[in-house]
Structures are given as C-alpha cells and as structure tokens.
Structure 1
Amino acid sequence: MKNKIFICCYILCAIITSCKKDVLNKTPLDSYTDQSVWSDLSLAEAFANNLSNVLPNAEHNWDNTTNRTWALSSATDEAFNKFDDYNASVMNSGSLTPDNLGVFDIWAPTYKTIQNCNIFLSKIDNVPGDQARRNGLKGEVTYLRAYAYFKLTRDYGGVPLITKPFDLNSDFKAARNSYDECSGFIASELDKAAALLPVQQGSTSYGRATKGAALALKSTLLLYAASPQWNPTNDMGKWQKASDAAKAVIDLNAFQLFNGNYADLFTTKNSELIMVRETNKQYMWSAFQGVEVFLSPSGFHGWASFAPSQNLVDAFGTADGKDVTDPTSGYNPQHPYVNRDPRFYQDIVFDGRPYGQPAFCQDRYGVGSTNVAEFYEGGLDSPQGWDKWNNSVTRYTFRKYCDTTYNFNSETQTNKFWIVSRLSEIYLNYAEAQFYLGNNATAIQYLNLIRQRAGVKNLLSSALSGAALENKIRNERQVELCLEGHRYYDVRRWKIADVTENKPLMGVVITKNGNGSKTYNYTQVQTRAFKPQHYLLPIPTSEINRTKLVQNTGY
C-alpha cells in the first residue's frame, strides 16, 4: 500500500506583464483578479510565460534553488567551485543529510511550479480567444509540468503525482508514486505536449517549447528509466523505448549537427539546438551576472568560479581519438596540451592558450604579457597573479559558453541561453540505447557522427564491442556534454558514482623553469566522498515532519 503524504499548497505566483496594453491600462499589475486572468488570453499567456522559470538558465543567480546549472558540474568530478555556491560542498564531502541540503534542494519550488501549471491547465480551455493559440499555450505548459516532474524524479526517485490544483479547502492528501509510474506519466504528458506544439517555433519565439523539445525530453527521460539505476534487471523493453524515443527526434529531420566553429555552438542560435532557456541582458543588474565574469581566468578579471578539474581534462583524448591512458596515444603528461581532441581547445582555457580579444585586455599587454593564459606559478592567472582571490585552484577555466566578442569587464553580458536539449545529446542517447540492444554498428555510427563533427581524426573501429564500447559511449558523453548539467545524473544512473565521486578531485601546479620549459605536477584539489544513499537526494526534514513522507533509503 502506498504511503500517504500531505502536499503543501503553494499560492498562485504573481502575474508578469501582459503585452496587451489596453488591458494593462485598466488596473494595476498587482491587482489582477483570478477572473480577469482567465478571461483574457494575453494575461493567461503571461501566466504561462512565468512558468518557464522551472527551466535552467545561464545566469549565476547565487542561491537560487531552481537554477543549479553550473553547480551540478561542481557537485561531480567535472569541476571545482571555490566559493561553494549552492552548497555543493556537502555533496562532495559525503556529509549530505536531510537537514543540510540548503539551496541544492528543489522540492518546494518545483512543486510550486507544478501547482501553478495545474491551475493553468484547469483554466485554459475556458479562456476566450483563438483556439490555436490556446492549444499552443496548453502544449507549452504541459511540457513545463512534465519537465518539473522530470527534475523531481531524477533527484528524489518516485514522487507524488499531482495533476489537479489544490485550493485552500483541499485536504492535500496524496500518495508517493513509484519511479516507473512517474516515468510513464511524464512520457505520456510529453506525447500530449508534442501533439499540441509545432515542430519548431518562429524566430520571434525562440526558446519556447516545441514538439522537438517535448520529444527530446522524452528521450532523456526514457534513457534514465532504462539505465541501471532504474532498470536493475536490464529489461530490454525499457531500452527499446529509449531507442524509439531518441529515433523519433532524429526522424523529425528538423535539426542538424552544427558544423561551424564549435565554440559558437554554445553562444549563437544554430541548427543543433532543440530547446534552450534564454537570458535577456535587459534584466541583468550588472556584468557580475554574466557567464564570462564567473567563468574567466582571474588575470582577465574573471572569477574562475566553476573551474574544470584535471579529471575532466584527462577525459579528453588525443587528436586521433585515443584515450590519454592508451600507451600508443603519444600523450606526455609533461607536454599535456599537445595533440588533444579538438574539443579540448574549444572548451577549456589552459596555460598557454590565447583567450579573448587583445583589445579587451590591454592592461595585460601594459605589463608585458599578452592574452595568453598564464596559470603557471607567478603568472597573471595564478595564485600570485592579479585578482588573487579569484584564481583557479585547478589552473584551468572553462571556455565553453563564453562569448569573447565583447568586453565582459565593462559591458553587461550579451543575450545568452542555457541548452536544455540539443541534437548531439539525442545522438548519444540513441547510441547508448542501441548498444544495450546489441546493435553495436548503429551505436558506433552515431558516436562517429559526433566525433567527426568535432574534428577527431580517426573514427571508432567497427570491431569495438562490450565494455570497451560502453566506456567509449560514456566517455563521449563526458566530453561532448561537459558543463551542460549531464555528468551529475549520468554517473548516478549508470551506478558508477561510488567510483567516480570517491576519487580525489585533481588539478595541476605548473612551474616555469629558467630555460623557459615548464614542469607539471598533478595535485589533489579536494577530497571527495560518496555514500550509497547519495544516488538520490534526501527529501528535506521540514517536508518529512510536515507530511510524514517516508524518506529515501539511507537517510
């Protein structure tokens, strides 16, 4: 019998600005009544627009519990966050409890969004106006509610499925559903959303949900459901569903791998992007919220806030596609940045790499340096250099997601987006599902499409199979999708976090010798610990006390 719980009722969010000026002239924004909102399609649309806050964005909003985009990287072996934003240290130290989740917990704000989605979906059919416009909004909110449940299930496992809005007279009684029940519900909701939405939105509606977005989220959802964490018996039926879902996105023929400059994939609108969450610089209070400020090296007056680990750097292979651990790769740890996977040069700022435009860092030139990163001891980007409190502890920073076409030290960031879904991820989803279904050739085909686009010289051998191919699939996700929020969940769904997260987080100390050569010493930056219960987050104690909900195992 299911355990009974009580779900708190979250009151209706404030309605954001409508674009219908004659309505706005009638009454102040903070005085809209429930009746007026559901009598005007423009106000209903404003309500729907506000629900998109459940999606991640590219801003660095300190302690914003709904937006852990960057923090997810520092809560895994991918990166280090020296300022401990979002309380990731409790994740990394193995000290996680139901009482110290802090802002890493998303339970309450996500259910608040679900409540408001339920309100919208219960009202929209009766709002007067154009039927096609109503259907589009209904499809978008159905997608957003499904995304909210996807967020909850990947963090907590099975959660209560609430599909009707509570009011103050509700008894709030509900049951915790199983993970499989939640996954099935989310998949069916995404099918409903897909049926109501266009394959792609017009250029003026960039970043709004589409059929492609709904089917892409379904692909990721079903991949998780088929993975060892939720499929311990390796049910082939689940892998087939994951494969079919990924293929459905591919078969839309609406998206193509981006073949321009790889770094531009993450800063410009392009053919690969399926779903993004946009950030408008108009609403940024200063350049300090900009991606470039909190990712760039300290000698460029950035914060190096989320810095790549040596663990991640070592995941990038050589230019000919071999792992750096392969004795035939030619990799030399004393010449570590030579002949690497082309994505390494696009994603990572390392010692000796040019960064940014010279015109934007003339102060470096003024002291006899250049726009080449100096992470070696005594360099401008080192602990002894400029902005010492912001130096990268690992001696790397991320280039990925950074737009170097403007001066981020004096201008508020350009309009940015966070990638929710892109075609490369779908190819990786499909390759993984096909591998577990025994179709190695298809898996290798889609891996090679990604590697070929990246400029890796040699394709994977058609003879690759078994654990070797499985490791390539996992490594390809680690490299291709770094800093996109996937690694945290990948190592959990694969049930390998007890290995990857129990290793020290590594960096490098670089010494410049008198003859101009450099010596590289690989050092531990942080001790990491992971316990079996950490495959899921604990439900916060405050919620347990209020609802008598049974806690996740081990807490």
Structure 2
Amino acid sequence: MKKYIYTLAAVAVLSFAQSCKKDSEFLDKKPTSTLAVDAVWKDPNLVLSVLGDLYDTFPDFQRTESWWLFADFDEGFASAGGDYFRHQNIDYSYDSWNYWDYGYIRQLNLFLKRGEEATELAAADKARLIAEARFIRAGVYFEMVKRMGGVPIITVPLEYDYSGNPEYLQFPRAKESEVYDFVIAELEAIKTILPDDAGQKARATKGAALAMETRAALYAASSAKYGYSQLSLPGGEVGIPASAASGYYTKALNAAKELINGGKYSLYTKNPNLSENFASLFTDKANNPEVIFVKDYKLKTNRTHGFTIDNQPRSSAEEAQGGRLNPSLNLVQSFEKLDNTYASLASVDGSGNTVYYTNIGDIFAGRDARLAGTVILPGSQFKSKTVDIWAGYQLGDGSIVTGNAFAQTRDNVLPGITGSVQVVGGDGPVDGLEFSAQSGFYVRKYLDPAPGSGQIGTRSEVWWVRYRYAEVLLNAAEAAFELGDAATAAQYMKPVRDRAGLTTALTAANISFDRIVHERKVELAFEGHELWDMKRWRIADKVWNGSNMSTTDFVNATNIGSATRTSTQVFGLWPYKYYNPGNVNNGKYIFKVIKPSRVTAAHRFRLGNYYSMIPQGVLNGNPKIVRNPNQ
C-alpha cells in the first residue's frame, strides 16, 4: 500500500512540474537514450559504435557460437541428444545455407550515404569508416553469391514513395559473375584506404581486403571451371562461363601474392611442440602474426561464447557438461604420415590380425602434427589433465567388458580379479551417451586452455578466425596449380606443411587436384570451409552421395587421398584395454572401427543443393527475380 501511495505522489509531482512548462517546451524535450543521426556523424567514436554493430552482424555460417553446424557433414559427430537428427537425415534441403539479407544491405547503404554526406569528420577518419562499411558490404555480397548465385546489386538505400507502385524498387538478379566482379572491385578500391596494420584483427585492414579478395576470386574461378551445365540459367544468374576461370585464378593469385609479399603476416610458430603450436594459433591473441580478420570476444565487456563449455573433455570439465562435438574418424584418418603417404590407422594389419599397442597414443604416432592440434586424441592432455577415452576391456576369448556411464565400475567382471574395476573411460566412449566421446575423439581446435573458460559464469574470449595467412598461402597454391604452375604451387604449400612436421617437400610432380583438396581439408578443418570448398569444386554430390558406408571403408583403405572419396556417414575409432593374463599382449591397447548407433542414414548432396532456394517471399515480392535451377 505504501509503495502505491508513493508512486501516486511521484506521478503528481511530475505532472505538476510538467504543467509549469509551456507545451512547446515539453513536446520539444530531447530523448536521452538515442542520438540524432547528425550528432553521431560529428564524432568518429560515435560513428565507430554504429559501425561496430554492422561488424557484429557480419555473416558466418559455421562458427564457435554454433558448434552443432560442424556436425552437419563429415567432420564431426554431434554427441548431444537433441542433435542426433543431424546423422539421421538422408537429404540436404534445397534451402539449406540460404542467405538473402537486404535489410543488412540497406543498413550498410544508409551508413555509406550518411558518411558521404558528413562534413564535420576529419578526412582520414571519414575515408576509413566508409572503406570499412564497403568491406563489410562486399563480404555480405560474397556470402550471398556463394550460396545463392547472382543477386541484385543494390548500392544505395531505397525509399518507398507510397505511390502504390513498388516497381521501381524491384531489381533483377545480376549475373553470378557480376556479383563476384563487384566484390573484387570493391576490395581493390578500398585496400589502399584501409590501414596496412597487421596488429588490427577485428576491423578491416588492407590485409583483410586482400584475403577476402583472393578467396572470392578463387571461388569464382573454380565455380567457372568445374560448374555443371545443368546448374546454369540463360541470363547468367547462375553459372559462370568456363572461359572466365583463368582470369579469376589470376586475380586470386595476384591478391594472395600482394598480401604475402607485403611481409605483414607470417605463419604462427611460437611453440616448438608442433601440435601445441597449431592449437595455440587459434587461442593466442598476443602478437599473433597469422591471424588477419576475426570476430573478437572480450571477458571485460562480457562478450564471450560457450564453445569450451560445450566441448571440453567431460572427465575434467569445469561444468557438468562438454564433449558435444566429436571429430570423426573420416577426418582423423585424413591426416597423412610424415613420409607424405596416406594410411589407415592400423587397428589390424594387412592380414586382418589385431594390432596391439603398448601406449594408447601409439596408433597416432608419426602423423601430421595438425592432427593432435585439431583433435583431442585418447591419452592426450587438455588443461594439464589426461583425457580418459577408452571403451572397455577385451578379454582373451574376444568378449567385451564395458559400462554405460562415465568411468563406470563393476564388480568381479575380470577373471582373477575380485572387487570393483573401472570398465570404461571417464570420457567414454559409450554409444548413445551424450557428451561422451562417441567417435573416440574430442575437438581441440578453438578449445580455450584458460582457467575458467569452461565455466558458465566466465566462458571464453577466444576469437573466431575468419581469415588467416595459411589459407592465403593455400589459395595461392591452388590458383598457381590451376594456372599450370605446379612448381610455384608446391612452393606456396611448403611452409604450411613444414609447420606440420611434413619435412619432405612435395615436388611439382606431386601436386594434383587431390593434393590441393587434401591440404585444405586437414589445415582448415572446423573453420567453416568444407561445405564451400566441396561446392565450388563441384564434388559435394560425389563425396556426400547418399551411399552407406561400412568399416571396410576405414580398415586398410587405399583411397584416403582421393578428393572424391565417399564420406556420407560419421565413423569412430574406439580403444580397448586387452585383458589376457599370461599373454604377451596383456595390458596393451587395441582399436576397433565403429559406427555410432545414432548414425542411421547417409548424407546426400544433390545437384540442386549447389545453389540454395530463393525464399518464396522474395519471389512473391519481386517478379523480376528468376528462380534458381532447383526451384
């Protein structure tokens, strides 16, 4: 009651005070929570705050804020009950990866218009802010064209005149090539306006513009070279003539060379342990020479993400959760041996006999160092704690003793031993037990080693890397190879492979399309490249072809290095302790190739998936928009 009386009194006092003012003064009162547009464009710091919101909306498909999207293809298994469906759908939808965001384009165009009209900013500030907005807009158009094909190119803010006739606001789709040309031209135009500052990671720089340019030109080139005739439209809205491929490859190579020769960036090589070095590349923000452009996070500003909470090893987790993203055997087996050869992880020998290992990690010895920098392997460490991944005991008669919970113990289950015995690892794997390492692995890349990063109250400030120097080197290698210069391609690939411990350099004769595909697969895993690479090379329908797989596809496989190797279902590799007292192999480890029971269907990518479906609402609102080939 007292609170009610006090509220009425406050209202009465406020009303009395306001009644003493002239009506015009009261109505002209300025808001305190917003600023007028003109006021913003007088202060570069206020303009930057607006631009910060535009940066924050920059489109990413896969990212650390959505771990589950990395389980949509063959890189990982979703060890979370609500996400098992990702391994139980046969076909990808035609509107998968759809992106058509002209609301965002309008915001950028309005920003640019107001920037051009601003008169009270210093010339250098104004030029940089406008260039940054053009960089973001180029990135948005790049995202749309790689998903949708040609889209309308709108560079001014459109205003409806309420005449009842919206036709003047209806633009047709540009050719796919025209959108790529627009993106490349914009980046060329602004690269010298942006600061050439490798220390700036979260804002556009010359390096970021060149990195985006080389990627965009490479996508256009490969789409032209490998495009299917059935994936084209008469007006060029979809499909780039094959004759344009060489020109785009040349642009991709030139942009990459300009960035490389500029000397501002280099590969990250701070840690002598090559696997730890590769993992640290994604978490070390202190003078990181490789990272070019990121989405950043800061603990002090309460801008964090939960990737480490979601994916930390379950046995040593700082919260009672983790382990959701399990890398697949499909990916793990792709990492080659240090002699540049491909080989299955040897669970059996060439005659089909079980291979026994003294230490649980021995099966992974002699492999590309990026493997342990990308994947948490059984017996490895995270945050100074050993990850406890093993599936149970195999007895001498071949029977299995295991459990259905983390670190479960059972009584009197091993011959000759009385009492409780742990029969499964603290991280599993247990089939169907979410958060356990159901594939036999946990993800390492982007996992934050800082104390507290796995706690809900703290979370992680590890950045999401959109562009980095190693990709630019691989872009240059691919472009050079496609232009017929395999020797130069080998030179660009060499430092990336050297860092991974692959010290026998590839020669020009070793460089092939398969090698190009392989190198990107292992270097860029869990970085959001796999889908777009498969699409632009037009091999997605061959790799994700709807065919079921079996353990024989992983045991003594002979086609691991093939770019078009079928990879439709996620498999795993489970370690077991061998228990057979008196046998020479007692106490050693054996491994079994498995398919998680929640993997019930094979992914199938159809020709129609190469270009996403244009939303029906867009088609209804603009009759000038031509449907994609799959509609």
TM-score band (shorter)?
A: 0.7 to 0.9
Work out whether 1:373 is the aligned partner of 2:392: no
Alignment partner, residue 106 of structure 1: 99
Separation in structure 1 between the aligned mates of residue 605 and residue 113 of structure 2, nearest angstrom: 43
Instruction: Identify the structure with the greater helix proportion.
Output: 1
**8 Å Cα contact 1:343/1:454 also seen in 2:** yes
Pairing 1:524–2:595 present: yes
What aligned pairs does 1:404-443 form with structure 2 within 5 A after superposition?
Answer: 404-410=449-455, 412-443=458-489
* Alignment match, 2:308: 292
What letter is aligned with 1:390?
F
| Equivalent in the alignment of 1:304 | 323
Per-residue Cα deviation, 1:316-358 (whole angstroms, up to 9, x for no partner): 011222212599xx99995642221111111111212222224
| Map of 1:367 onto structure 2 | none
Q: Alpha-carbon deviation of 1:398?
A: 1.2
Q: TM-score, normalised by structure 2?
A: 0.72
Give the residue type in structure 2 aligned to 1:122. K
**Corresponding residue number in structure 2 for 1:399:** 444
Aligned residue runs from structure 1 range 347-366, under 5 A: 347-358=374-385
Structure 1 residue 531 displacement after superposition: 1.1
The separation in 2 between residues aligned to 1:481 and 1:440, in whole angstroms, is: 21
Q: Does 1:280 align with 2:294?
A: no
In 1, Cα distance between the equivalents of 2:282 and 2:381? Answer: 19
Preserved CA contact (<8 Å) 2:42 2:121: no
Bigger radius of gyration, 1 or 2? 2
Distance verdict in 2 for CA 1:88–1:27, change over 3 Å:
farther
Change (3 A) 1:149 1:196: same
Does structure 1 residue 123 correspond to structure 2 residue 114? yes
Query: Could you give the per-residue CA deviations for residues 19-64 of structure 1, whole angstroms, max 9, x where no partner exists?
Result: xxxxxxx9656433334334443332221111002336797546xx
Question: 3-state SS of the aligned residue for 1:509?
Answer: strand
When structure 1 is superposed on structure 2, of 515-524 and 129-138 the one drifting more is 515-524
User: Does residue 493 of structure 2 align to residue 447 of structure 1?
Assistant: yes
Match among 215, 224, 228 for residue 220 of structure 1: 215
C-alpha contact (below 8 Å) 1:246/1:430 kept by paired residues: yes
The structural deviation recorded for 1:90 is 9.4
CA RMSD of aligned residues (A): 3.0
Cα gap change, 1:59 to 1:312, in 2 (>3 Å): closer
Alignment-derived partner of residue 142 in structure 1: 134
User: For 1:416, what is the secondary structure of its paired residue?
Assistant: coil
Report the Cα offset of residue 373 of structure 1: 3.1
Q: Deviations over 1:474-507 (max 9, x none)?
A: 1111011111111110011111111222322222
1:263 is aligned, of 279, 303, 313, to 279
SS in 2 for 1:390: coil
Partners of 1:438 and 1:477 in 2: how far apart? 19
Bigger drift between 188-197 and 165-174 goes to 165-174
Shift of 1:155: 1.1
| Amino acid in structure 2 at the alignment position of 1:452 | D
Query: Take 2:47 and 2:87, find their aligned partners in 1: how far apart are those partners?
Result: 40
Alignment-mate amino acid for residue 73 of structure 1? F
The match for 1:19 is none
Given that 1:73 and 1:487 are in contact with CA atoms closer than 8 Å, whether structure 2 keeps it comes out as no
Q: Work out the CA distance in 2 between the residues paired with 1:383 and 1:258.
A: 33
1:52 alignment partner, one of 47, 51, 55: 55
Distance 1:544 1:265, change over 3 A: same
Segments of structure 1 that go 5 or more residues without pairing to the other structure are 1-25, 63-69, 359-370
Give the paired residue count. 495
Unmatched 5+ residue regions in structure 2?
1-28, 228-238, 271-276, 358-362, 393-423, 546-567, 580-585
CA distance in 2, matches of 1:446, 1:479: 16
Distance in 2 between residues matched to 1:191 and 1:134, nearest whole Å: 18
Render the CA deviation track for 1:113-169: whole Å, top value 9, x for unaligned.
Answer: 211110011111232121111111111111000011111111111111111112343
1:28-67 correspondence to structure 2 within 5 Å: 30-55=33-58, 60-61=64-65
State the 4+ residue runs in structure 1 displaced beyond 6 angstroms. Answer: 84-88, 330-333
> Paired residue for 1:390?
435
Residue of structure 2 in register with 1:505 after alignment: 570
Contact 1:56–1:420 (8 Å) recurs in 2: no
